[in-house]
Chains A and B, each alone.
Chain A
Amino acid sequence: MSAHSAETIEHASNALDAPAKLELSGVGKEFRTKRASTHALSDINLTIRDGEFVSLIGRSGCGKTTLLRTLAGLVSPTTGEILIEGRSLWNGSKVDSSVVSKLGVVFQEANLFPWYTVADNISLPLRLRGDGKQDRRARADELAELVGLKGFENSYPRELSGGMRQRVAIARALSIRPKLLLMDEPFGALDALTRERMNLELQRIALATKATVVFVTHDITEAVFLGDRVVHLTPRPGRIRQIRSIGFERPRSIDVQTEPEFGAIVRDLRHALDEEE
């Protein structure tokens, strides 16, 4: 991973006085099918500050992806309201596309387009927005370098490993310089070492771009390492069980994981997750 970036890290964003970026009040979601109805989310209240990094953990099937998809404008909540920078994201079941087009979304799968090269995949959002060819190319090169894929700009997705594809997906989400980044287990497919490197890189990018991040993960250590706060969801229906603030100043080094306090938080959360069964 390269250390290059035009942007510089200015300050850690733990400031409590930052304005609200994202406000969820009473958000609930019920999936109705012919056979059954699943209460996926219930009464989610959460305010996320500008520049904050929020990790979302919970057992499989507890509604993490559903919550993220309501934030991304992909599924409408059945109840409640979502405000992004004070603007309502949903009007009934219709989404405000001017809000959505400013978000960066990274899905559980890379979902690249096999007919486009790495550079074209990365700059697809810019192309849809109508940016010129040269701007797109410049930005794609810059981002390819940022996610450690320099030299692969003209490769096709099939020529990349799973982890490399996921990094292309991250670069694609970053291309429009989103101020709000929604990520659904983006590193699930990576080996431990690459994952650690990607964590550090994501932390650096988030701070450098002052982006607000909502980050879904299965991995408690990852959640605690990256998050200003960790939100723990419990299943059926998906509710917020607890929210932990993580006191360590960002950016954090990998060594923070060996500190006793870090270990204690991870242990706490693990117990809380275990109790659910």
Chain B
Amino acid sequence: MSKERSKKLLPWISTPLILLVFFLAWDLFVRVYEVSELVLPPPLTVFESLAEVVADPVTWDHARVTAIETIGGFLIALVCGVAAGVVLGKVAWMERSLRPMIVASQVVPKVALIPLFVIWFGFGMTSKVIISAMLAFFPIMLNVQLGVRSVEAGQREVMRSLSASRWQTFTHLELKSTMPYVFAGMEVGIVFAIIGTIVGEYLGGSEGLGYLVVRTLNELDAPALFAVIILLSVLGLMLYFAVHGLKRFFIPWHESVYSQQDVNR
């Protein structure tokens, strides 16, 4: 096997190995210390419970609700975040007049506001969509704002020396040059959107995987609790990799994409 190939295969071998070791250690720990099943069920019990949870169609309804809330909130945050970021990045007086508010909004722990949103927008999906949109909005906006400002002066001069129109400068330079920042914001934003949705579901409502976590907790069904947490993690991973995949598709020329390819190679 060539060196290149083995480098590429390495994570595919190491990841299952690490997981296997992790589960073995978990199992051993539970047995040796005789941990109560209520605190930490052995991995096999969790897997059995996971199989049951997955087989139950109701689980999928909950998962769909969580996914819709997260994606909906994320898309709203994307549209608003890009728009706000472009405006703040381009219009200096606006950025200056709003800067104190923006700094303040970054410092405020936004998770603390979630109960308010539940009060205002009810226990249904609306409040969760709004919460996840709010959490995902800021990283996207801040990144886009940075991106709009980071267009290289030298590249601008090239466009000017070619007598490019405003529209041409936008499509050939500003848009392309800002894309990496949009995706950097999106990668953080999607994670924040999931956090927002789940915490929102913890606090109120009767739908979603977050609600399922609370219910299994109240029922003291630790194996099912673990199973739902695993499902949530899988959902989070899928959404993250979807965004990451979009990034690799749209900006293959960017450092953050090709340097990774080089490492994988």
Q: How many Å lie between the Cα of A105 and that of B157 in the bound state?
A: 10
CA distance A265 to B235 in the complex (A): 74
Apart from A74-B161, A100-B163, 16 more pairs, CB < 8 Å: A97-B163, A100-B161, A113-B155, A113-B158, A113-B172, A113-B173, A113-B176, A114-B253, A114-B254, A115-B253, A127-B172, A128-B162, A128-B172, A156-B253, A158-B253, A158-B258
- B interface residues, tally (CB under 8 Å): 21
The interface bits of chain A over 53-74 (1 if a CB of B lies within 8 angstroms of the residue's CB, else 0) are: 0000000000000000000111
B→A interface (CB under 8 Å): 152, 154-155, 157-158, 160-164, 168, 172-173, 176-177, 179, 251, 253-255, 258
Contact residues in B for A72 (Cβ distance below 8 Å): 161
Chain A 212-243, CB-CB to B under 8 Å as 1, else 0, gives: 00000000000000000000000000000000
Give chain A residues whose Cβ lies under 8 Å from the Cβ of B154.
Answer: 107, 109, 111
B168 touches A128 (CB 8 A): yes
A115 touches B176 (CB 8 A): yes
Residue ID in chain A nearest B160 by CB atoms? A74
Q: Which residues does chain B contribute within 8 Å of A113, judged by CB atoms?
A: 155, 158, 172-173, 176
A103 to B163, CA, bound (A): 10
- Choose one: B152, B162, B173; the contact of A125 (CB below 8 Å): B162
* Of the residues A105, A111, A127, contact of B152 by C-beta under 8 Å: A111
CA–CA, A128 and B154, complex, Å = 18
Chain A residues close to B by CB (< 8 Å)? 72-74, 97, 100-101, 103, 105, 107, 109, 111, 113-115, 124-125, 127-128, 156, 158
Q: Which residues of B contact A156 (CB under 8 A)?
A: 253
- Contacts A115-B251, A156-B253; is A105 near B161 (CB within 8 Å)? yes
18 examples of A-B residue contacts, CB within 8 angstroms: A73-B160, A74-B160, A97-B163, A100-B161, A100-B163, A101-B163, A103-B161, A107-B158, A111-B157, A113-B158, A113-B172, A114-B254, A115-B176, A115-B179, A124-B162, A125-B162, A128-B168, A128-B172
Docked pose: A158 CA to B256 CA in angstroms:
12
Closest B-chain residue to A103, C-beta based? B161
CA distance A11 to B251 in the complex (A): 47
A-B contact count (CB 8 A): 49
Contact of A107 with B157 at beta-carbon distance under 8 Å, contacts A114-B254, A156-B253 already known? yes
| Chain A residue at smallest Cβ distance from B255 | A158
- Interface pairs A-B: 9 shortest CB-CB: A111-B154, A101-B163, A97-B163, A105-B161, A115-B176, A115-B253, A111-B158, A100-B163, A125-B162
Complex alpha-carbon distance, A97 and B155, angstroms: 18
Chain A residues with Cβ below 8 Å from B158 are: 105, 107, 111, 113
C-alpha spacing A74/B161, complex, angstroms:
7
Residue of B nearest to A169 (CB): B158
Cα(A146)–Cα(B176), bound, Å = 28
Residues of chain B within 8 A of A158, CB atoms compared:
253, 255, 258
Which residue of B is nearest A104, CB measured? B161
Measured in the bound complex, the distance between the Cα atoms of B155 and A157 in whole Å is: 14
CB neighbours (8 Å) of B251 from chain A are: 115
- Which residues of chain B are near A111, meaning CB under 8 Å? 152, 154-155, 157-158
- Select which of B155, B162, B176 is within 8 A of A101 by beta carbon: B162
Instruction: Find A73's partner among B152, B161, B164 (CB 8 Å cutoff).
Output: B161
| A165 → B minimal CB distance (Å) | 12
Give the chain B neighbours of A73 by CB distance below 8 A. 160-161
- Cα(A125)–Cα(B160), bound, Å: 11
Please indicate the chain B residues that have their CB under 8 angstroms from the CB of A114 in the complex: 253-254
CA distance A57 to B255 in the complex (A): 37
Closest to A99 in B: B163
Shortest A24–chain B CB gap in Å is 18
Interfacial chain A residues near B177, Cβ < 8 Å: 115
CA distance A241 to B86 in the complex (A): 48
Give the distance to chain B from A230, nearest Cβ to Cβ, in Å.
25
CB distance from A103 to the nearest CB of B (A): 7
Taking CB atoms, residues of chain B closer than 8 Å to A97 are 163
- Which residue in chain B gives the minimum CB-CB distance to A121? B158
Residues of the A chain whose Cβ atoms lie less than 8 Å from the Cβ of B179:
115
Nearest residue, chain B, Cβ from A96: B163
Q: Which residues of B contact A125 (CB under 8 A)?
A: 162
